[in-house]
Amino acid sequence: MDVALLRERFPVLENTAYLNAGTDGPVAGAAIDAAEEELRAQLAIGRTAAHFERNSELKSQLRERYAGLLQADVQDVSLTTCTTEGMAAVVGGLGLVAGDEILTSDEEHPGLLGALAAARERGVTVREVPLARIGLEVGPATRLLACSHVSWLCGRRAPDLADCPVPVLLDGAQGVGAVPVDVRALGCDAYAGAGQKWLCGPDGTGMLYTTPELRSRLSVDRRGYGNMANPGDGLAARLHDDARRFDALGLNRETLAFALAAFDTLAQAGWTALHERAAALAEHFCELLGAAGRTMAAREPGTLVAFTSDDPPAERASLAAAGVVLRDVPGRPWLRASVGAWNNERDARRLVEALAG
């Protein structure tokens, strides 16, 4: 991989040690150019039939890209506006009631917990257990197992859930793009991912993979031109049979084109090479941080490096002032560096030096 070339594509990297992809990835010049091209086209030509055809074309292309990266069939991939939206479609769509249980871990993101809280308001039991042993905790009332593929707090991985006897929903916000994902090998029934994090797309993009079996059990309230097979048929209109039924209704051309160009910028470098470089670099970050006296929160192979801090918000602010961008982990004494293939050894040194003051 030509690392210098990859880094050049993301202008923010020139002056900043940008370690924030777990929130929002760096932005590629080509992605902004692509969005602007779509915007300008609307200005001169207006928004007529060709405008909507272009939107459909961009959606098809983005869906294919996402499906390829998930190793999924394209008809099983929905385009969402964020990971949270996809998880809510699954948790809410199951229509669980009092007496049913959802099993989750004790280190989940608000985007999943929000959907679980909504289910709890309808009387569903939500049981939180350690991520490492979640597969062993399935009980007779469990109707859904919902947890992180990669924990947003510290990078911990879900255990092998391929033989889980109930449907499995994985929160892949810190998975897809960061680490290799094969939805079939994971054995999950649903996998929700983000477009704006490790895929460097715009805010307001994401994906949801679902198996046909799970999909057929999920109700869908939001139905419009974007997700119905025959919207002109009034009350007799049906949802698309495939995963387009969960598509977000308002994805615009400029947002889609941004996502697509960002994806292709990364894909040019090769996903395997990106994943291997990011993992190796994250390991290097851990070594330097360890040598500097920091303890890792939970170190597993991957791209999130969470480490101890006596005052995370204050250290985050002083790092930002030194041009090192990362986040503190709410409620834990940790800072979290998101290490991508676009980072380098100098970023690691800058982090450690800025921490030393």
| Dist CA 209 CA 233 (whole Å) | 28
Single residue of 1, 3, 8, 12 touching a copy of itself by CB under 8 A: 12
In 3D space, the residue among 306, 253, 281 whose CA is nearest the CA of residue 6 turns out to be: 281
Residues 223-262 that bind a copy of itself (CB under 8 A): 223-225, 228, 231-232, 234-237, 248-255, 258
Subset of residues 110 to 139 that bind a copy of itself, contact rule: CB under 8 A: 110-111, 113-118, 120-122, 126, 128
Stretch that binds a copy of itself, among 31-39, 156-164, 276-284, 337-345 (CB under 8 A): 31-39
Choice between 150 and 257, CB closer to a copy of itself: 257
* Residues 161 to 200 in contact with a copy of itself, rule: CB under 8 A: 196
First to last CA, the chain: 33
Site string for a copy of itself, 81-110 (x = CB under 8 A): xx-xx--x--xx---------------x-x
DSSP 304: E
Q: Please list every residue from 292 through 331 that binds a copy of itself, using CB under 8 A.
A: 320, 325, 330-331
**CA 151 from centre of chain:** 11
Give me Rg for the CA atoms of the chain. Answer: 21
Residues 6+ away with beta carbon under 8 Å from 240: 227, 228, 229, 247
Q: Exposed, middle or buried by CB within 10 Å (0-12, 13-18, 19+), for 40?
A: exposed
Which among 41-49, 148-156, 285-293, 341-349 is the span making contact with a copy of itself, rule CB under 8 A?
A: 41-49
- Min dist CB 252 to a copy of itself, Å, is 4
Contact 201, 263 (CB under 8 A): yes
Q: CB–CB of 137/112 below 8 Å?
A: no
Size of the site for a copy of itself (CB under 8 A): 81
The DSSP bridge partners found for residue 77 are: 209
Q: Shortest approach of a copy of itself to residue 143 CB, angstroms? A: 16
Among 222, 270, 287, 290, binds a copy of itself (CB under 8 A): 222
Length of the chain: 357
